[in-house]
Amino acid sequence: MEFETLKRNHLKRNIIIGVVVVGIISACILTFTRARYRTTESIPLVTGTINYSPYDIRVSTKLLIEEDEYIELDHIPTSEGVSLISSSCTNGAVISWNEEKKGYEIGNLTSKGTKCETIYGVIDEEDIFEFDYTGTIEEFVTPQDGKYLLEVWGAQGGDTNDYIGGYGGYSKGEINLKKEDKLYIAVGGEGLSNCVSQDCAGGYNGGGNGGAYTADAANYQSGGGGATHIDKSTGLLSTLSDKQDDILIVAGGGSGAYYHPNGVDYSTNGVSGGGYLGNDGVVTNYGMTAGGGGTQEAGGAAGYRGNAGTFGQGGSGLSGSTLGGASGGGGGFYGGGAAGHSSAGGGSGYIGNKELTNKAMYCYNCRESNSENTLTFSVNSVSNEALINNAKEGNGFARITLLEYSGYQPNFGLEAKMNGQSIVVTVTPNEDNLFEISKYYYTINDEYIESDSNTYTFENLEEGDYTVKVYVVDSKGLKSKVKTQTISLIKGKTATDIINSHTILTRNDFSSILDTDTTGTMYQAEDDDGTTYYFAGSVDDNWVKFAGIYWRIVRVNGDGSIRLIYSGTTSTTIGTNTQIGTSVFNEKSDSREYVGYMYTIGQDHGLEKDSAIKGVLDSWYDNNLKSYENKISEEAGFCGDREPANENNTGYYLYAGSERLINHTPTFKCSNSADLYTVSGSSKGNKALSNPIGLITADEVVYAGGVQGISNNRFYLYTGQIYWTMTPDKYPEAWVFAVYMTGAATDINVDHSLGIRPVINLKADTQFKIDGNGTSTNPYVVIGAE
């Protein structure tokens, strides 16, 4: 047949609820739920098949025309882990497993307009708690606030030769529980089989004992099956008569079979444990009294040679040489009566606790009830495995399933930041979330975008205010609250804009100082990452204001990051305000390793210990820049070149930096990665820094217009103070280059105390306010970090 295909998102780890309307009608309404959102679609229904496929789930439907018509639900592929969790039908219809057809079957269709609700889903193994028969009471502590499905199957009565014991019933119900609530589970045991001339033990938790007829070796009897129950007070069911409010749910056990072929054949199968009523025993030849089934108020009546059932206990058969010989009644809320020469009665189930919802009982060929607290359906399906809505062979079983998490929502941190004409959103799931986040939902216009990633970028945006909204869904389908962050997208200048607003020149001669007015000019050279654009000379358009501090742009690095040198809390160019203080470079100078920003004694490029000046810079960074580190590059590095000079014939051990200053051949490249100081997040360098901060290099001083030994009080690095670079000079004592108070590049012993001018690198995507022109009175102001 032709029909419209339903389209759904992937539903793994979510509940699917389908409502099937049965009868001679023109349409079938299928309602499916994903998380907490419900949608409904109508599909034309005629004789034939409806295929619905989130996981190739097929629902085959036939119209109610004859009494033997039924609805068959094909089994859902187990490879996807989807299963029928729960079901209920109106008008007495029942969904059960059909072993022959390997599918779920809706039977007992007697009325038009019957509605069946089926709950399918993928339940993670950690949310399913199963209890096999152990012969002991087990404690269950709820792991989380939520709605739990309680399911119990009673045990089968014992067999006698070819006659089988009555089957255990099935009861289910849902209940809301708090975390660390305690429940107690007693799983019924199967009654003992084929006892002759001796008593036959009833199954654990209330199965009645079979009583022996010691004078007749052909009289076989068996024990009744035990009930399975869940309660809030520990104990066998028979001990809880004064704590009935604590009993949550019970599934009755079946009665034992009876075998007596000698003379008159009194042999009979046991009868099943019930829903609201246990099945009454079957009367055999000569009208011997059968055992009664347990009810909601009393135990089953005693049959021939048997005792009556009581609360939580099936009746036991009498034992002896004259009136002995009876099989035990099934355990239950109230047990069934024992009987000989006829069958004993089955135990009753129980779902009357007011805390239970969506509750029902199912039993084999039993009496039905439509009342909420005794809702009972008769089924013809039986299995040794614990299947929903099926009667049970063998020992009983119990299962507790966490269906919904109550009072819990996943949580996360939200950060939205501007990146050019884009907004970059980053979600950080909380470490104490119970489950992994599986989906992220982002919007700036109320049309959410689903993503598997915890980051999302909204691109090509116009200038203006945006409200970012985000929520997440975890692997259980649990949805977080929506979090919002408002961000103003301001069109600003970038490093590229700054470069493009300048005349670009190239310098080749560095033997003389550069002290002319070069405002409006930048120069280009090569560094390890490509072309770098730098300022030189007497320039007044390289001012930046960042983190409340004035800085000077040294250069735009080859990777696009922007290298700054500290210039004070005001825009003055000379004096102690241009530095954060003074410090020795290292406390000692009697070993050449002390030229290192970090060093290891005995190694030329060691990184074991921090220099004294690095400690000062780290402390200052933590106190002044830590809150702005989202703007600071962790990729760019700081070169403290400890490579030796090519020639060392001066009586000193010279480093390569010293040779370059002597020969007027500066470089922006760092030849040894062990001397390129970077943080651990960088893809290059030694990754040894705890903070992305350093000092200017002697090479950069030369590029800016300085020369070793020649004064220059006009280039932009002149401050009238003497301050450190991080370029090693020479040894036998450890010397490092500095900028002298005259503006000349110079060298000095590392244990002297000089000024400190921190150097940092702003990220390449940094934006500056559009109206800044880089002058001391109108600097480039970093947006969001003024």
Domains, the chain, in order of start with CATH, read 15-122 (no CATH), 125-408 (no CATH), 412-489 (2.60.40.10), 495-572+764-781 (no CATH), 576-613+634-757 (no CATH)
Please name which of 41, 44, 38 lies closest in space to residue 15, comparing C-alpha atoms: 38
pLDDT in tens, 761-772: 999 989 899 899
Per-residue confidence at 215, pLDDT binned at 50, 70, 90? confident
Kindly tell me if the per-residue pLDDT of 720 is higher than 50.
Answer: yes
Kindly tell me if the per-residue pLDDT of 184 is higher than 70.
Answer: yes
pLDDT in tens, 569-586: 999 999 999 999 999 999
Kindly tell me if the per-residue pLDDT of 191 is higher than 80.
Answer: yes
Q: How many CA atoms lie within 13 A of 101 on its CB side?
A: 16
What is the predicted pLDDT for the residue at 117?
62
What is the predicted pLDDT for the residue at 121?
54
Long-range contacts of 379-382 (CB under 8 A, 24+ apart): 379/94, 379/96, 379/107, 380/96, 380/107, 381/96, 381/97, 381/98, 381/99, 381/105, 382/167
Q: How many CA atoms lie within 13 A of 205 on its CB side?
A: 39
Structure tokens at 609: 């210990």
What is the predicted pLDDT for the residue at 693?
98
**CA separation (Å) from 224 to 155, 271, 328, 664?**
8, 10, 4, 104
What is the predicted pLDDT for the residue at 265?
87
pLDDT in tens, 256-290: 999 988 888 899 999 999 899 999 999 987 778 99
Q: Averaged over 685-696, what is the pLDDT?
A: 98
Kindly tell me if the per-residue pLDDT of 228 is higher than 60.
Answer: yes
Per-residue confidence at 99, pLDDT binned at 50, 70, 90? low
- Number of other CB atoms surrounding residue 564 within 10 Å: 24
Q: Is 212 helix (H, G, I), strand (E, B) or coil?
A: coil
- Number of other CB atoms surrounding residue 341 within 10 Å: 26
Mean pLDDT of the chain: 86
Q: Is 660 helix (H, G, I), strand (E, B) or coil?
A: helix
Please name which of 36, 18, 198 lies closest in space to residue 115, comparing C-alpha atoms: 18
Q: Averaged over 705-731, what is the pLDDT?
A: 97
* Alpha-carbon 597 to chain mean position: 44
pLDDT in tens, 486-497: 998 877 899 999
Per-residue confidence at 114, pLDDT binned at 50, 70, 90? low
Q: Averaged over 440-457, what is the pLDDT?
A: 95
What is the predicted pLDDT for the residue at 435?
87
DSSP β-ladder status, 483-489 and 449-451: unpaired
Kindly tell me if the per-residue pLDDT of 100 is higher than 60.
Answer: no
Percent of the chain clearing pLDDT 90 (strictly above)? 71
Kindly tell me if the per-residue pLDDT of 297 is higher than 70.
Answer: yes
Query: In terms of pTM, does the model score above 0.75?
Result: no
Distance CA 748, CA 754 (A): 10
What is the predicted pLDDT for the residue at 345?
98
